[in-house]
Structure 1
Amino acid sequence: MTHDRSATPTASRRPSGPVRALGILGAGRLGSVLAELAASAGYTVRVAASGDPARIARPMAAIGATAAPAETVIAESDAVVLAIPLGRFTDLPVAALRGRLVIDAMNHWWEADGLRPDFEDRRTSTSEIVQRHLVGARVVKALGHMGYQDLRDDARPPGSPGRAAIAIAGDQPADLAAVARLVDDLGFDPVIAGALAAGVMLEPGAEAFGADVGAAELRAMLDRFPTSQHGIVVARARGGALGFPRTSSEG
Structure 2
Amino acid sequence: MMNIGIIGSGNIGSALAGYLTNLGHQVMIANSRGPGSISELAAKTGAIPATTEQAAGAEDLVIIAIPEKAIPDLPISILAASRAIIVDAGNYYPSRDGRNTDIESGLTDSEWVAKVIGHPVIKAFNNIVAPSLASKAVVAGSADRIAISVAGNDEQEKQVVMDLIDQIGFDAIDAGLLSKSWRQQPGEPAYCRDLDKDALKSALADADISKRAANLAHADEMARPYL
Query: TM-score if structure 1 supplies the norm length?
Result: 0.79
Q: Partners of 1:78 and 1:72 in 2: how far apart? A: 13
The CA deviation at 1:95 is 2.0
- Aligned residue pairs: how many? 211
The CA deviation at 1:234 is 4.5
Equivalent residue, structure 1, for 2:86: 102
Q: Partners of 1:62 and 1:189 in 2: how far apart? A: 26
The CA deviation at 1:63 is 1.4
Report sequence identity in percent. 31
After the TM superposition, which parts of structure 1 deviate over 4 Å for at least 4 consecutive aligned residues?
A: none
Q: Output the amino acid matched with 2:210.
A: I
Matched-pair contact (CA < 8 Å) for 1:104–1:142: yes
Backbone CA RMSD of aligned residues? 1.7
Which of 45, 54, 58 does residue 40 from structure 2 map onto? 58
Equivalent residue, structure 2, for 1:81: 63
Matched-pair contact (CA < 8 Å) for 1:100–1:138: no
Secondary structure class of the residue paired with 1:138: coil
Matched-pair contact (CA < 8 Å) for 2:3–2:58: yes
**Larger Cα Rg: Structure 1 or Structure 2?**
1
Query: In the alignment, is residue 233 of structure 1 matched against residue 211 of structure 2?
Result: yes
Equivalent residue, structure 2, for 1:128: 111
Query: In the alignment, is residue 153 of structure 1 matched against residue 122 of structure 2?
Result: no
Matched-pair contact (CA < 8 Å) for 1:169–1:199: yes
Which of 73, 76, 98 does residue 114 from structure 1 map onto? 98
Query: TM-score if structure 2 supplies the norm length?
Result: 0.87
Secondary structure class of the residue paired with 1:194: coil
More helix by percentage: 2
Equivalent residue, structure 1, for 2:216: none
Q: Partners of 1:124 and 1:138 in 2: how far apart? A: 14
Q: Output the amino acid matched with 2:48.
A: T
Q: Partners of 1:132 and 1:75 in 2: how far apart? A: 18
Query: In the alignment, is residue 165 of structure 1 matched against residue 143 of structure 2?
Result: no
Gaps of 5+ in 2: 214-227
Equivalent residue, structure 1, for 2:23: 41
Q: Partners of 1:156 and 1:111 in 2: how far apart? A: 34
The CA deviation at 1:23 is 1.1
Secondary structure class of the residue paired with 2:151: strand
